[in-house]
Amino acid sequence: MIDMVKQKIEALFKEKKIAGFLGLREQNGQVAPHLFMEGQALEGLCLGDRKIAGDARYPLNKILVTLARQYPEKTLGILARGCDERGLYGLFRLNQLDPDRVIPVGIACPGDLALACECKKPFPDALAAGEKIQAGESVKAGLETLAAMDTLDLDKRFSFWKNQFSKCVKCYGCRDICPMCFCKDCSLECEDLVSKGDLPVDIPVFHLTRAMHMADRCVDCGLCDEACPADIPLRLLYKKTAQIMDIEFGFTSGINKDERSPLSMMGPAPKKVAK
């Protein structure tokens, strides 16, 4: 698989389509994001699979936004799994990246990873390597997780989340790792909402504020879950807000390249989409 990815990147450089390629590199025994430049060998390029598939993923899109802000005229290639590409579509929609300046080089995720991630689309449209696994099983797993939570009555559900939120050490890691978090002024640093510099965290305002802001953004990549030192099931929370967006508006963040968010439209509510 890696050889096909390398060929694709080398071709992009040869055709002068990209000024650099943002991917992952193994160095000093660790996996790190790396910007490969033209003329440099793709030495150490890897796909973020260490002990198991996808266990060394990084928010490459977030780095791409940083680079694009500094170098808006440059076109860059980027390594993209299904979730990364959903993130790119979201960032195009939110005007954080220019679709004409980004060339994704896509890899499909294996079935076990897709299932573990409960992935909605474990392959990118811009597929360069790997075999497409249909999302049926993994989507079903996601719905079952949500349905299991919904069997709890409201009091129990609220106390479940209050207990989870009470573990928070307020590291802001969920925000800092999130490829879809790019605001220069963050509500989580607004002192009218969130007290500064003390614990416990404001429950449930802190996490629910973030969940609200994720409603039409979250692409369910799961990096927040992996970054949380307190093991709060953040992804489950955002999965629920995403489900509400789907049920109410038929909207799923990052699934379509030219999508528009119902939360940023003026006019009558979009019609519910029959499922």
Partner 1 sequence: MDYQNVLTTCTYCGCGCNFFLEVLDGKLVGTLPCKTSPVNEGKLCIKGWNVHQFVQSEKRLTHPMIRKNGVLEKVSWDEAFEYTASRLSEIKAAKGGDAIGFLTSAKVTNEENYLLQKFARAGVGTNNIDHCARL
The residues binding partner 1 (CB under 8 A) are 19-20, 22, 27-35, 37, 50, 55-59, 63, 66-67, 70-71, 74, 169-173, 176-177, 226-229
State in angstroms the smallest separation of the CB of 72 from partner 1.
12
List the one residue out of 178, 180, 13 whose CA is nearest residue 96.
Answer: 180
Select 31 or 47, whichever has its Cβ closest to partner 1: 31
State in angstroms the smallest separation of the CB of 48 from partner 1.
8
Positive or negative: CA dihedral 189, 190, 193, 195: positive
State in angstroms the smallest separation of the CB of 28 from partner 1.
6
| Pairing state between β 127-129 and 102-107 | parallel
Select 70 or 151, whichever has its Cβ closest to partner 1: 70
**Residues 196, 187: Cα–Cα separation, whole Å:** 12
State in angstroms the smallest separation of the CB of 233 from partner 1.
15
- Give the Cβ contact number of residue 53 at 10 Å: 18
Under 8 Å between Cβ of 50 and 31: yes
Beta-carbon contacts of residue 185 (< 8 Å; ≥ 6 apart): none
State in angstroms the smallest separation of the CB of 170 from partner 1.
6
Select 67 or 211, whichever has its Cβ closest to partner 1: 67
Select 73 or 100, whichever has its Cβ closest to partner 1: 73
Select 14 or 51, whichever has its Cβ closest to partner 1: 51
Beta-carbon contacts of residue 242 (< 8 Å; ≥ 6 apart): 214, 215, 218, 220, 252, 253
